[in-house]
Amino acid sequence: MCGIVGYLGGRQATPVLVEGLHRLEYRGYDSAGVAVLDGGEIVVTKTAGRVQDLRDLLVDSPATVGVAHTRWATHGVASDRNAHPHLDAGLRIAVVHNGIIENAEQLRARLQADGVELVSETDTEALAHLIAQQRADSLEDAVRAALRGVEGTYGLVVLDRDRPDELVVARNGSPVVLGVGDGEMFVASDVSALVHHTQRVVFLDDGELATLTATGYRTSTLDARSTSKVPTTVAVAADAYELGGHEDFMRKEMAEQPEAIARALRGRLDERFATAHLGGLALDPMALRAIRRVKFLGCGSAYYAGQMGAVLVEELARVPADAEPASEFRYRNPVVDPDALYVAVSQSGETLDTLAAVQELRRKGGRVIGAVNVVGSAIARECGSGVFLHAGPEVSVASTKALTNMTVSFAMLALLLGRVRDLSAAAGGRIVAGLRGLPGQVERVLADDADIARIAKRYAHARHMFFLGRVRGWPVAREGAQKLKEISYVHAEAYQSAELKHGPLALIDPDMPSVVVVPADDLVAKNIATIEQVKARGGPVIAITNADLPDGLADEVIRVPRGEPELDPILLTIPLQLLAYHTAAALGRDVDRPRNLAKSVTVE
């Protein structure tokens, strides 16, 4: 992985390709490259570096067809020779590829036994040689024949020197989307690379190929059955992927949270019946009442949002609920409960581990819905029903507004499940009012930015931090630790507050700050006791709270507005985003593109 762009049409290809790569930089990468068909030859330019480094190496070309890639290393170190595109020995085939070829070593060994000299350490290079070796009447048939011997995942675009009027695209487990223009065609791994040129797109399914010409496309399966793909329109404004005056995308996306929440709530709250409408679930009241358990499946921040959702479902609907990392669920031969509702959570809708969990559930007859932020994404299509997050495009690797909208959506799901059971109209009305008030409350938290920046700067020197919370505060603490780790590179651990005295307390000292999440609930006294235990051992404490704490209890207090108690996790998460952001900024980190990470994890 990580970013793919292809173009075929009447204008110069190189500017289109480089612009597309620039718009995919947020996905994380370590090298970049372009291949264009110029003067009957494939001309490749690539480098281990940023897109700007690539741009500096490129020369003007009249080429009107080409492919480009930003790579996140999986096979082989980040280097010029391992960067994509890759060519076959005859310099006829150029390939860009996202995913992992699991039988790459066997394929490489077979190629070397045939006398092929491999010039990179990558799995992708093998694909170029395999395609070139096929005796086929068309490039599409050559790609199809080569892929029959390939095991693993791929989003693939192939350029053939001898067929200058077409590109061939294939997908299995890694996203590929076609862009339909006027006398031109585009391909990318994400719609963000396309929306400046067209909003008419075609999402390929796993096991599907497409052949592109300047005037159109045709799609088929790996076994050569024709498929009928009709373009859909993506309602995404091109400027949604622009900074719009902000320093970076994470700051922009944190600031967008009030409006994002309002979008998620729009048309979904029902004051008359004190409930929520989630039409995308495609479940009537009888089906909702038949649900005996809810399990959330996600990875990273989506998993922690699922934990918050599980707490909400148990509190409001009194239905057993839990969350599990999708990456674990897919491998442990899970017992699938026919009376359970499984919720697959993913901002991109393309997270490979979560998609595989969905496919496992469907194979075993489980009822699974998606909670995704990208219409037409693989998880959305695989589930067929679910909740669209309406967060708007999220570019920064660290999820903020998408995570917030996940939790808001789970609050509405919990409200809906509760109201078809025993949650009273009065209690439902209280939650509806609480949800209505969230955008304004989040604005008030964001307005405390300067004070949180001061606190972050005070503790940015710390090499380690604890994040502590109980019940509602526990998944908030886990998400806070995740944010700090991923963008500031400060080591952070989250613990349930009651577990502190069962081992971790040994690590407390004056150089180990603890961030303690204290909701205004019936556990305030317990959380105060936790803070006192930390303070008694010289540990600095930052309290994130909407409760009335004794003066001087914590070294620093970050306050959030008091709303409905069940919704506290949503508000308590916001200052932890700001704390992580300002810590990273104080340390000079690249906030939007943390090292070693990618926005959409489409490999194992």
Tell me which DSSP letter residue 25 carries: G
Q: What residues are labeled active site?
A: 2, 599
Mean pLDDT of the 148-174 span: 93
- Reported as half-sphere exposure (CB side, CA atoms, 13 A), residue 120 has a value of 26
Measured distance CA(549)–CA(527) in Å, rounded? 10
> Is the pLDDT at 1 greater than 60, yes or no?
no
Topology of the domain comprising 243-446: Rossmann fold (3.40.50)
Residue type, 91: L
Residue 325 has pLDDT above 80, yes or no: yes
User: What are 331-371's pLDDT values in tens digits?
Assistant: 888 999 999 999 999 998 888 899 999 999 999 999 999 99
- Residue 25 — very low, low, confident or very high, per pLDDT cuts 50/70/90? confident
- Residue 23: pLDDT band (50, 70, 90) is confident
- Residues 379-420 have pLDDT tens digits of 998 998 999 999 988 888 899 999 999 999 999 999 999 999
Query: CA 205, 213, 17, 91 torsion: positive or negative?
Result: positive
Highest mean pLDDT among 233-247, 305-319, 581-595: 305-319
The residues with which 202 forms a beta bridge, in sequence order, are 178
E-assigned strand segments in 470-593: 491-496, 514-518, 541-545, 556-559
Distance CA 519, CA 49 (A): 45
Q: Identical fold at 243-446 and 448-599?
A: yes
Please give the structure tokens belonging to residue 418.
């509760």
Which tens digit of pLDDT belongs to each residue from 250-263?
999 999 999 999 99
Residue whose token pair is 């806070």: 480
pLDDT tens column, 106-142: 999 999 999 999 999 898 999 999 999 999 999 999 9
Pick the CATH number of 448-599 from 3.40.50.460, 1.10.10.10, 3.30.360.10, 3.40.50.10490: 3.40.50.10490
> What pLDDT sits at residue 600?
67
Q: 272 burial class (0-12, 13-18, 19+ CB within 10 angstroms)? A: exposed
> What pLDDT is attached to residue 158?
97
Fold of 2-241: Glutamine Phosphoribosylpyrophosphate, subunit 1, domain 1 (3.60.20)
Write down the pLDDT at residue 374: 85
Length of the chain: 604
Residue pair 584/591 in contact (Cβ under 8 Å)? The answer is yes
Q: Where are the beta strands (DSSP E) in 422-555?
A: 464-469, 491-496, 514-518, 541-545
Predicted pLDDT of residue 228: 85
Predicted confidence (pLDDT) per residue in 580-603, tens digit = 999 999 999 999 888 877 666 765
Helix (H) or strand (E) segment spanning residue 169 = strand 167-172
**pLDDT of amino acid 372:** 94
Determine the pLDDT at residue 226: 92
Is pLDDT above 70 for 604? Answer: no
pLDDT tens for 524-546 read 999 999 999 999 999 999 999 99
The single-letter code of the amino acid at 336 is V
Looking at residue 208, its pLDDT comes to: 94
Of 92-96, 104-108, 230-234, 476-480, the least confident: 230-234
Q: How many CB atoms lie within 10 A of CB 491?
A: 12
End-to-end CA distance of the chain: 11
More confident residue, 241 or 201: 201
Residue 375 has a CB neighbour count (10 Å cut-off) of 17
Tens of pLDDT, residue by residue over 57-90, are 998 999 999 999 998 777 778 888 998 999 999 9
Tell me, letter by letter, the H, E, C secondary structure of 260-305: HHHHHHCCCEECCCCEECCHHHCCCHHHHHCCCEEEEEECCHHHHH
Residue 602: what pLDDT? 60
What whole-number percentage of the chain has pLDDT above 90? 78
* Nearest partner of 499 among 521, 522, 524, 477, judged by Cα: 477
What sign has the CA pseudo-torsion 372, 178, 5, 89?
Answer: positive
**β-sheet bridge partners, residue 35:** 44, 67
The domains of the chain are located at: 2-241, 243-446, 448-599
Query: Which stretches of 116-221 are DSSP H helices?
Result: 124-133, 139-147
Residue pair 491/482 in contact by the 8 Å Cβ criterion:
no
Is the predicted pLDDT of residue 143 greater than 90, yes or no?
yes
DSSP-based helix, strand, coil % in the chain, nearest 5: 40, 25, 40
Q: Band of the pLDDT at 375, cuts 50, 70, 90? A: confident
Task: Report the share of the chain in percent with pLDDT over 70.
Answer: 98
